[in-house]
Structure 1
Amino acid sequence: MNGLTLTLHALHHGEKHLAEQLTTVADRHRAEHEVHHVATDLAQWSREHVQRLAEAGLAHSLADSPSAAAGVLSAQRERVDEVVMARPEPGLLLLRDLRELHLSAVENSLHWELLAQIAQATKDEGLLAVVCDCHPRTLRQMRWSNTMIKNLAPQILTSL
């Protein structure tokens, strides 16, 4: 596997994971209308990114093969979710969910940056176009999760 293949696979997996996380957060926090509606919209962006990355992968003759590590990470996340859900403090759960969303978006942003560097180095205009279309949305996902944490943390953490 070369750097392009590794980066495309990592980002494809990361965007799938972020879409799932955003959908879960939107469902889990329906009472928080801004969280519910914005997370639903942002999940659609990540699903579109997954599609664009799959198309870019086909253009580069890459097969969409999930990694073995993805299954292990998914199982670990489920166990963490079970532990957190056992403590029904909705504010803390919301902060935890927003933190996880933010970290996932940051990781995806770094992969988008790596993909941009590869596209520029290889003068791949098609791949660069995908990055230019998708990376700003990932940056927006990061800013939204960070802003929500800043706005909600003081109220939630001081009311415990």
Structure 2
Amino acid sequence: MNGIKDLLRALHGDEEHLSREFVTAADLHRADHEVHHVAMDLAGWSREHTRRIAETARAYDLKLDPPGEPHYGLLSAIGRKTAEAVGHRPEPALLLLRDLRDLHLAASGNSLYWEMVAQAAQATRDEALLDLATRCHPGTLRQMRWTNTMIKTLSPQALASLR
């Protein structure tokens, strides 16, 4: 069962991280209303996943913190402002593409963890674990679809305009 504990701990931390990253992206790209609002919604999904993981982990005598309140990515914003001050001013569209890529990769990693949770649940015949994966994994897949769609939509104009 230690493998399942390790898996739940890792997924819990990665869902928290993804939630923070969605909030950071929403903050940094608040001028793009669709990105801002959808990213905030998707952050909420990861917070909900984190809450559900913490609840399920109790059955494994694993105490995981419930999700915290969303906070804006001050460090990311400071990092970008510093880069601008020293003369590295990437185009906003390129920053958004980079952030969407990072969000997609983080969600993809979580998706793989959800697959492992489902497989572990089936191997151990653990209904609560299977229910967790069944309820949460579709949200992660939707997060991936949104980031992928946004990348496909924004890439042509953002990248072609740099010529």
Are 1:3 and 2:3 counterparts?
yes
How far residue 3 of structure 1 moved from its aligned partner, in angstroms, is: 1.3
Identify unmatched segments of 5+ residues in structure 1: 66-77
Letter in 2 for 1:89: E
Are 1:125 and 2:127 counterparts?
yes
Match of 1:72 in 2: none
Change (3 A) 1:7 1:38: same
Are 1:82 and 2:79 counterparts?
yes
Alignment partners' CA distance in 1, 2:128 and 2:147 = 29
Q: How does 1:1-160 map onto structure 2 within 5 Å?
A: 2-64=2-64, 82=79, 85-86=83-84, 87-160=89-162
Match of 1:73 in 2: none
Letter in 2 for 1:137: G
Aligned residues: 148
Percent identity reads 60
How far residue 5 of structure 1 moved from its aligned partner, in angstroms, is: 1.2
Q: Deviations over 1:101-153 (max 9, x none)?
A: 00000000000000000011111101111110000000000000000000001
TM-score by length of 2: 0.85
Instruction: Tell which deviates more after alignment, 84-93 or 34-43.
Output: 84-93
Q: Deviations over 1:73-100 (max 9, x none)?
A: xxxxx68x82685324211110010000
Alignment partners' CA distance in 2, 1:88 and 1:82 = 13
Alignment partners' CA distance in 2, 1:42 and 1:90 = 21
Aligned partner of residue 61 in structure 2, secondary structure: coil
| Cα RMSD after superposing both structures | 2.0
Letter in 1 for 2:14: G
Q: Deviations over 1:11-32 (max 9, x none)?
A: 1011000000000101110111
Alignment partners' CA distance in 2, 1:64 and 1:26 = 26
Aligned partner of residue 30 in structure 1, secondary structure: coil
Higher Cα Rg, which structure: 2
How far residue 59 of structure 1 moved from its aligned partner, in angstroms, is: 1.7
Change (3 A) 1:109 1:59: same
Aligned partner of residue 30 in structure 2, secondary structure: coil
